[in-house]
Structure 1
Amino acid sequence: MKKYELKKHLHECLRREVMMSDKPFSWARTIHKAIKCPERRFNFWWRIVSFLYKNDSKLLKKLARRINRKLIQKYHTEIQPGTAIGPGLTVSHFLSVVINECTVIGCNFKIRQNSTIGISGRPGCATPARIIIGDNVEVGAGTCIIGDALIIGSNVTIGAMSFINKDIPGNSVVYTEKSLIIRTR
C-alpha cells in the first residue's frame, strides 16, 4: 500500500471505530473519544500500530512491535501488526483473542473472547498460508479458525466454540455440533 492509501485507511478506521461518527475525520475528535471512552482505546492504539508497522521504516516497525507488546499485556488480545483488517473491527471482550498476521479480514468484523485465527504451520504446505475473511463476519466465543489457505465468505456468523478448518461460503451460519451426554450412576 502506498503511504497515502495507508493514511486514508487509518483515518477511515479511526473514524468508524473510535470517533463512531459520520463526521469527517479529525485527530482532535479521535483523541478526545479515545481518552473519554476507554472501550475504544484498544482500537485506537492497534490502528496506530498497524499503520506504523506497514511503513517502510525499520524504526517505525520496531516502535509498532513495542506498542503492540504493551497492548497484549494490557488487553490480553494479540492481533499481530501485519494483519490486514478493514474498518469496523469490534472485539467484544478483550480476553485471549489471537489473530495471525497471515489473515486478511474485510469490513465490520466482530470477534469475541477466547478466539484464535491462525495458520496451521504444517511443513511442506504447497499453497501460501493465508486466511481470507470477508465483510460482515461474526466469530463466536471460544472459536478456533486454523488452516493454511482458508476462505470465509462475507455475511457469515460462526457460532461459539466452533472449530473451522475448511472454507465457508458467504451468507452462512456455521457452528460445530456438540452433544452433551449425562449419565447417572
Structure 2
Amino acid sequence: MISDITKSNTSSNESLEHLKECLRIEVINRNGKKKFSWFKVFHRVLFSYKKRFYFWWRLACYLNSSPSKRNKKWARKINANLRCKYGVDISVEANIGSGLKLNHYIGIIIRSECIIGKNANIRQNTTIGRKSSDGIIGMTVIGDNVDIGAHSCIIGDVRIGDNVTIGAMTFVNKDVPANSIIYNPVTAVIKNK
C-alpha cells in the first residue's frame, strides 16, 4: 500500500515537472533559456492569445493524468472549450513532448494513440493517428524535431524517426527513417485550356 502511494506521488511529481518544462518552453520562451516561474507563465497567458492555448491544453493534460475523476472531468471540459475556441482537436491522452509548436491552429487533429517527441512543429489541417474500424488500435510514434507541413495525414501504426521533415499535403502510412525529407510528388496537369 505504501509503495502504491509512493508511486502515485512520484508519478504526480513527474507530471508536474513535465508540465513546468512544457510551459517554460512553449509559453515563457521558445529558446528555453529563461527559468520557469508561475508569474511569467500567467503574464504571457494574459497578454498572448496563442500562448493561452498551450497553457490550457497542457493544464488539461496534467489534470487528465491524475487518478481523480473530478480532474479528468475538468480536463475534458477544458479540452472541449479549446476545441470550440481554437478549432484544434488534440486529445489530452496524446503523449506529446515539450516544445510543441502549432503555426496555425485550424483543423489540427491528434488522436490519443499518438506519441510525439520534443520540438514538434505542426501546421494547419493536419491529422495524426487513427483507430481502425475493427477495434485494433494503431499507435503512431513520431520522433524529436519533426516538422509536419500543412494538410498532411499521418495515419495508422507508423513510426517516424527524429529530424524528419514532412512536406505539405503528404499522406504517410508507412514508417519513415530518421533524418529524412518526405513530400507529395508534384500533381500532374489533368487538362490544358
Same-fold call, TM cutoff 0.5: yes
Normalising TM by the smaller chain, what interval? over 0.9
Q: What's the counterpart of residue 4 of structure 1?
A: 13
Partner of 1:151: 159
- The alpha carbon displacement at 1:66 in A equals 0.3
Structure-to-structure mapping, 1:79-158, within 5 angstroms: 79-123=90-134, 125=136, 129-147=138-156, 149-158=157-166
Secondary structure of 1:45's match? Answer: helix
Looking at structure 2, the residues matched to 124 and 70 of structure 1 have their Cα atoms a distance apart, in angstroms, of 28
Shift of 1:183: 2.3
What RMSD, in angstroms, separates the aligned Cα atoms of the two structures? 1.4
TM-score by length of 2: 0.90
The 3 A distance-change label for structure 1 pair 124 and 12 is closer
The aligned residue for residue 72 of structure 2 is: 61
8 Å Cα contact 1:120-1:146 kept in structure 2: no
- Residue 13 of structure 1 corresponds to 22
Q: Partner of 1:177 in structure 2?
A: 185
CA deviation after TM superposition for structure 1 residue 124, in Å: 6.2
Quote the sequence identity (%). 43
Is 2:173 the counterpart of 1:165? yes
Q: Deviations over 1:35-66 (max 9, x none)?
A: 11212111111000110011111110000000
Rounded Cα–Cα distance in structure 1 between residues aligned with 2:176 and 2:18:
27
How far apart, in 2, do the equivalents of 1:18 and 1:49 lie? 15
After TM superposition, where is structure 1 displaced by more than 6 Å over at least 4 residues in a row?
A: none
1:30: how far off?
0.4
Q: Superposition pairs for residues 25-40 of structure 1, below 5 Å?
A: 25-40=36-51
Q: Secondary structure at the match of 1:104?
A: strand
Cα shift readout 1:65-103 (whole Å, capped 9, x = no counterpart): 001000000000010010111110000001000000110
What SS does structure 2 have at the residue aligned with 1:2?
helix
Structure 1 residue runs without a partner (length 5+): none
Q: TM-score, normalised by structure 1?
A: 0.94
The alpha-carbon deviation at position 131 of structure 1 amounts to: 0.7
